[in-house]
Structure 1
Amino acid sequence: MTLDVLRYEGEHRLKSALGISVAFTLLAMLFVATAPLVTTNVAASAQFKQIMTELPQPFIEAFGLQSMTSLEGLLAGEFYTLMWAVFFGIYLAYSAAGSVRGDIDEDRMDVLLANPISRTTILVETFLSLLVPVLVASVITPAAIYVGTLFIEPSIAVEELIMVHVLSIPYLLCCGAIGLVLSVLLNDKDTAQNAAIGVLFALYLLQSFIPVTDYGWLANIAPMSYFDANAILLEGTYDFTSAGILLAATLVLMAVSQFRFTRMDIQ
């Protein structure tokens, strides 16, 4: 079998990929459409400035409040930090968590393994099918944002817009790899998917609030620590080292999943 699993899983994910791309596009366009009004009011609001001095810094950074005075800041702090990184990451982890375990629970894995195909191939191609929603959303969403910004002032820099999506791919794959590990470690699909949601959200909270404590180093285990949309869109800074760390973490998680899956009883 040559990429049959990848082809099947990819086609299976295409419909949901288009759906989530449309959802992200509509949400992003809402931010773009309201950006002139929001950024102008925020920049001129004395009340907002007072709130910013009173709120804890971790809370401000977690919700991107410090960057709401520009279009790039609004997109980076609200859309890319919360919607794209957190919710898209949770979606991919949830989807991956239900992949292998779902096939086992529904007795499809027995049928698949009856063919001349290794468990490693099944695992790798199933994981690679996550690239379908990642790539589809990463093409449609920035294209829609760029077109939308042509009708407002100021528009957004194309290079930074492209790079925020390119550098989000290692992060999103790492989130998917977390879900894949849970898919082969836990005993049923629902448990694995619920655990994926809990783990990703807990990692987001960890990265957001623990850095100001004595245990700030623990934030380094969260993949969110290695993807900074604000640095890309506001400063034009591209952190390829962090992207490499995320890819390395993805490979490690894949290796753990492969080790477990090739040795587990699927009956």
Structure 2
Amino acid sequence: MLEIARYEAERRLRGTIALAVGIGVLSLVFLGFFPSFGDADLEGLVEAYPPAFQEAFGIQAIGTIEGFLAIEVYQFVWLLLLGLYVAYAAASSIAGDVERDRMDLVLSLPVSRGRVVGETFAALALPVLVLNVIVPIAVYGGVLAIGESISVADLAMVHLLSIPYLLTCTAIGLLLSVMITRASVASRLAIAAVFVLFLLESITVSTDGYEWIGSVSPTHYYDPTAILVDGTYDLQGAVILLAATAALVLIARALFARGDIGS
């Protein structure tokens, strides 16, 4: 059982560890700049940004270690760049195997198409879990190294609650991977979809009467700044993201089960 998931997970493990180390080192580099912020005109810096940008990234709190981490690491690297990455990786999974004719070999074995999609998603979840174990250790160590302190509970929750968000981005990529048989096209569309959803939430969050439009974006349900700066945990948002993930994976399974791989 789970042979496909194990094979795909092992194939991605080395790259996942390298990515985790890379993000951890990048986080340490960002933290190394934080002490110099004490000499900066933070109020003037904040006012230089457009109101929509301030609202979207919570930049008002950049003078605190929590706000600095939320903006420099979690809003940009974790929420945006990592969300784009997992969607990209998922979009090339099924489509890549179909394009290389490897899927014909897999389906010649006693395995259903639904199982292929389900186990592929399980393997794609591995990077999300590994990153959320390794990176917070590096971040916490970096915070202590520069003589600052941060709530361990809040740091743990910013990573724990990012899992549903990143799984949703993964599911978006997986859905596109079964809909489009060219991996390069599916990957580009996945990046575009996640980025457009990110922009949709960022643009509508400070508008009057149109905030509801942003509710279709996964970023609407995961706010690193609220977690780190205010200690506010959106557990309901996490449940919504998990439900959306399950729905997207089920749709992907249904489409792949009925689709013509050769088309």
With the shorter chain as reference, the TM-score category is: over 0.9
Deviation of 1:54 (Å): 5.3
Matched, 1:138 2:138: no
Alignment correspondent of 1:242: 237
2:114 alignment partner AA: T
User: C-alpha distance in 2, partners of 1:207/1:78?
Assistant: 19
Tell me the equivalent position of 1:83.
77
Correspondence for 1:100: 94
Tell me the distance in 2 between the aligned counterparts of 1:206 and 1:53: 23
- Give the TM-score normalised by the residue count of structure 2: 0.95
Match of 2:65 in 1: 71
What fraction of aligned residue pairs are identical, expressed as a percent? 43
Q: CA deviation at 1:68?
A: 0.9
Which residue matches 1:7?
6
Is the Cα contact below 8 Å between 1:227 and 1:242 reproduced in 2? yes
Query: How many aligned positions are there?
Result: 261
Does structure 1 residue 113 correspond to structure 2 residue 112? Answer: no
Equivalence for 2:55: 61
Q: Distance in 2 between matches of 1:223 and 1:174?
A: 7
Is the aligned partner of 1:256 residue 2:245? no
- 1:131 is displaced (CA, Å) by 2.0
Q: Identify the residue that residue 39 of structure 2 maps to in structure 1.
A: 41
Q: How does 1:188-267 map to 2 (within 5 A)?
A: 188-213=182-207, 214-267=209-262
Which amino acid in the other structure matches residue 4 of structure 1? E
CA–CA separation in structure 1 for the residues paired with 2:154 and 2:39: 25
**Residue 24 (structure 1) aligns with:** 23
One-letter amino acid of the structure 2 residue matched with residue 41 of structure 1: D
Stretch moving more, 87-96 or 141-150: 141-150
Q: Partner of 1:150: helix, strand, or coil?
A: helix
Match for 2:46 among 39, 47, 52? 52
Deviations, residues 126-183 of structure 1 (Å, cap 9, x unaligned) = 0011222111111111111111222223212211111110110000000000001111
* Secondary structure class of the residue paired with 2:181: coil
- Alpha-carbon separation, structure 2, partners of 1:235 and 1:52: 18
2:157 paired residue among 159, 163, 169: 163
Task: Name which of structure 1's ranges 87-96 and 139-148 shifts more when overlaid on structure 2.
Answer: 139-148
Using the TM superposition, give the Cα deviation of residue 255 of structure 1 relative to its aligned residue in structure 2, in angstroms: 1.3
Shift of 1:226: 0.5
Structure 1 window deviating more from structure 2 (170-179 vs 181-190): it is 181-190
Q: Is the 8 A contact 2:56 2:202 kept in 1?
A: yes
Contact 2:222–2:238 (CA under 8 A) maintained in structure 1: yes
Identify the range of structure 1 (229-238 vs 166-175) with the bigger mean alpha-carbon deviation.
229-238
Q: Give secondary structure in 2 for the equivalent of 1:266.
A: coil
Shift of 1:22: 1.3
Deviation, structure 1 residue 63: 4.2
Q: Is the 8 A contact 2:96 2:181 kept in 1?
A: no
After the TM superposition, list the runs of 4 or more consecutive aligned residues in structure 1 that deviate by more than 6 angstroms.
none
Contact 1:76/1:230 (8 A) holds in 2:
yes
Q: Are the aligned partners of 1:63 and 1:78 in contact in 2 as well (CA < 8 Å)? A: no
Aligned equivalents of 1:54, 1:68: Cα separation in 2: 13
Instruction: Output the aligned Cα RMSD.
Output: 1.4
